Amino acid sequence: MTDKPGVPTMSDVARLAGVSPMTVSRVMNGDPNVRQSTRRKVDDAVAALNYVPNQAARRLAGARPIRVGFLYSNPSAGYLSEFLVGLLNQASIHNVQLVVENCEGERAWDAQTRRLIDNGVDGIILPPPLCDTPGLIDLIDAAGMPAVTVACGQPDERVGAVSIDDYQAAYDMTCHLIALGHHRIGFIIGHPNQTASGRRLAGFKAAIAAKGVESAPELLVQGMFTYRSGLDAAEILLGLEQRPTAVFASNDDMAAATVAIAHRLGLDVPGDLTVAGFDDTALATTIWPELTTVRQPITQMAETAVQFLVRHIRARRDGADEGPQHLVMDFSLIRRQSDAAPRRRPKTSGKR
């Protein structure tokens, strides 16, 4: 049987990774004797080529499927969508069966997690805000269950973790806004139940202090990572007697809401108001003007979480438990049409 034109093969993966096809096969079948550095090269090549192994060959090789529980409770549809793309990409590559549970409601995570454990999943992936839920990792750890958290501001050493440096990302974006000439910058804080929110706020405050620009309590407004909370926060900031010339929101949903309020008030973005977001979800490029934002590689973080969990589970099956892995991935500042230098104009009221 020949491969379809354009469909990546195991040889393509081997060539990109700089290893032999036999080594690729050993990695795909969870051979514990493959060096971690080699395994990572192969995993990266598999992800880059979107290689899907022939399932008949996988069955002949005796590869046991891996069942992974995915618990979620995220108010941002854009964030969740990109996360699921990453999970599904890797699930097809690594013969992973995903068991998805929605944890809405107070302490819903407790029953859902126990159900996953009782139903025999091999591992669990926790995105925000569940990665920060008190008691959840205690429950998983007590069950001896491998797990990986994603985008947690303060990862727990007992489980794997994939994150970015939220503090540095917020610091860098704030410095970018200051470099444009903004000295009165509003900040919409993320949900208080997420450690990443605190890290982003700390990065913002540190940049404001380091650059010696205006710091005022009224420029900090609480949000909840939802579009609705962004509308409310933007109403407050843009209703100030001396409104900010720039607003930095802790995620794209709240930044998009800020743009909407600015338009309703007759303010030009970015002429009258610069707006910056965080995450670089699809929403950032589906509104006008497109958002300047911090790019958090959500899809790649989810893919890496699956890779870490698969390695851990396969190593454990072979009696060579390597323990949880932690990785801090790179972020980047994406500049689009929503930022500019502030116009020179007399102070005016933001009320209409």
Instruction: Give the tens place of pLDDT for each residue, 193-231.
Output: 899 999 999 999 999 999 999 899 999 999 999 999 999
Model-wide pTM > 0.85:
no
Question: What integer pLDDT is reported at residue 31 of this predicted model?
Answer: 64
| 91 DSSP β-pair partners | none
Q: Judging by DSSP bridges, how do beta strands 332-334 and 292-295 pair with one another?
A: antiparallel
Q: How many residues does the chain have?
A: 352
Strand order in the sheet with 326-328: 96-102, 66-72, 123-126, 147-150, 160-163, 326-328
Tokens representing residue 349 in the block: 């009221």
Which runs of consecutive H residues, i.e. helices, occur in the chain? 10-17, 21-28, 36-49, 55-60, 77-93, 108-118, 136-142, 166-179, 195-211, 227-238, 252-264, 298-317
pLDDT for the residue numbered 48: 85
Average pLDDT for residues 84-88, to the nearest whole number?
A: 92
273-316 pLDDT tens trace: 999 999 999 999 999 999 999 999 999 999 999 999 999 998 88
Is a pLDDT exceeding 50 seen at residue 145? yes
CA distance 234 to 255: 9
Q: Is the pLDDT of residue 142 over 90?
A: yes
What is the rounded end-to-end Cα distance, in angstroms, of the chain? Answer: 70
Which DSSP category does 242 fall into?
S
